[in-house]
């Protein structure tokens, strides 16, 4: 069973539902309903997502590994590894694209997240930002549409989930403000805990409408 983006609520729809976002922090950006219709958080398996491009948390060999990387290679089939073998690896913060083969996604962007070090916080943050930025750029240059992100570096690579999520979301907000080609960004998480972190941070960067303004959560797809 694969999942269509049409069946995943946008932030607009989430805010319009009864489930009020729980966040204590003040918004860092202005409310923009057009942007809220282009972003989603979804708890599920990224290998089942019907997307134009999904983002794999790869290692620098680009030859597969554990976690989400292993799951993507298993679901895509052996042709993915064959194509990856021709890419010559990638540096931390760098991203390379392949086809999706047996996946329900057209393309896979293999991005190499930083291995977190508390002694190099700024460098890790820059590298993680680059992972999100280069993946979004590649989605745009491959025709845009729906991009699904795994939570880069927050598994085995040990990046603190809250810090990583802020970088993921802020990089996306700045990108979407200038781009028209990416119609939906879907953050795919595996655990309930990670879902809650995303749901607590998203309203700071993509605020809900002011309470006087009612939103009908119009779909645009």
Q: What is the DSSP string of the chain?
A: --B-GGGS--HHHHHHSS------SPPSS---HHHHTTEEEEES-GGGB--SEEEEEE-TT-S--SHHHHHHHHHH-HHHHHHHHTS----TT-EEEEE-TTSSSSEEEEEEPPPP-TTSHHHHHHHHHHHHHHHHHHHHHTT-EEEEE--TTSSTT---HHHHHHHHHHHHHHHHHH-SSEEEEEEEESSHHHHHHHHHHHHHHSPPPPTTS--------
Q: Which is nearer to ligand ADP, 45 or 179 (CB)?
A: 45
Residue 46, interface with ligand ADP (CB under 6 A)? yes
197 touches ligand ADP by CB under 6 A: no
Among 16, 41, 57, 139, indicate the residue that binds ligand ADP (CB under 6 A): 57
Query: Does residue 39 touch ligand ADP according to CB under 6 A?
Result: no
- Regarding 148 and contact with ligand ADP (CB under 6 A), the answer is no
Among 5, 100, 145, 155, binds ligand ADP (CB under 6 A): 155
How many residues touch ligand ADP under the rule CB under 6 A: the total is: 20
Say whether residue 47 binds ligand ADP (CB under 6 A).
yes
Least spacing, CB of residue 44 vs ligand ADP, in Å: 7
161 Ramachandran zone, left/alpha/beta (phi>0; psi -120 to 50)? alpha
Q: Does 152 bind ligand ADP (CB under 6 A)?
A: yes
Q: Does residue 105 bind ligand ADP (CB under 6 A)? A: no
* 125 counts as binding ligand ADP under rule CB under 6 A: no
Applying CB under 6 A, which of residues 133, 172, 194, 206 lies at the interface with ligand ADP? 194
Please tell me the distance from the alpha carbon of residue 1 to that of residue 82, in angstroms, as a whole number: 26
Nearer to ligand ADP, 46 or 147 (CB): 46
Considering the rule CB under 6 A, would residue 55 count as an interface residue with ligand ADP? Answer: no
Torsion angle defined by CA atoms of residues 24, 29, 33 and 34, in that order, rounded to the nearest 10 degrees = -140
Select the residue interacting with ligand ADP from 9, 21, 67, 217 (CB under 6 A).
67
Minimal distance in Å, beta carbon 196 to ligand ADP? 13
Q: What residue ranges bind ligand ADP (CB under 6 A)?
A: 45-47, 57, 67-69, 71, 113, 150-157, 188, 190, 194
């Amino acid at each position: 069973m694969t999942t269509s983006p049409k069946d995943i609520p946008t932030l607009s729809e989430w805010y319009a539902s009864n489930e009020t976002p729980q966040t204590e922090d003040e918004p860092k950006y202005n409310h923009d309903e057009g942007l809220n219709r282009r972003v989603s958080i979804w708890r599920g398996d990224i290998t089942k997502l019907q997307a134009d491009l999904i983002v794999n948390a790869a290692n620098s060999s680009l030859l597969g590994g554990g976690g989400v990387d292993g799951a993507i290679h298993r679901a895509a089939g052996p042709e993915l590894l064959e194509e990856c073998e021709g890419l010559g690896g990638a540096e931390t913060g760098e991203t390379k694209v392949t086809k999706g083969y047996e996946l329900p996604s057209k393309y896979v962007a293999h991005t190499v997240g930083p291995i977190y070090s508390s002694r190099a916080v700024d460098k890790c943050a820059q590298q993680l930002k680059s992972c999100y930025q280069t993946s979004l750029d590649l989605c745009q240059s491959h025709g845009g549409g729906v991009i699904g992100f795994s939570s880069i570096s927050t598994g085995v690579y040990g990046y603190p989930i809250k810090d990583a999520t802020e970088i993921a979301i802020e990089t996306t907000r700045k990108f979407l403000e200038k781009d028209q080609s990416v119609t939906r960004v879907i953050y795919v998480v595996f655990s309930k805990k990670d879902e809650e972190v995303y749901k607590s941070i998203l309203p700071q960067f993509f605020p809900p409408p002011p309470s006087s303004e009612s939103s009908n959560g119009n779909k645009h797809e």
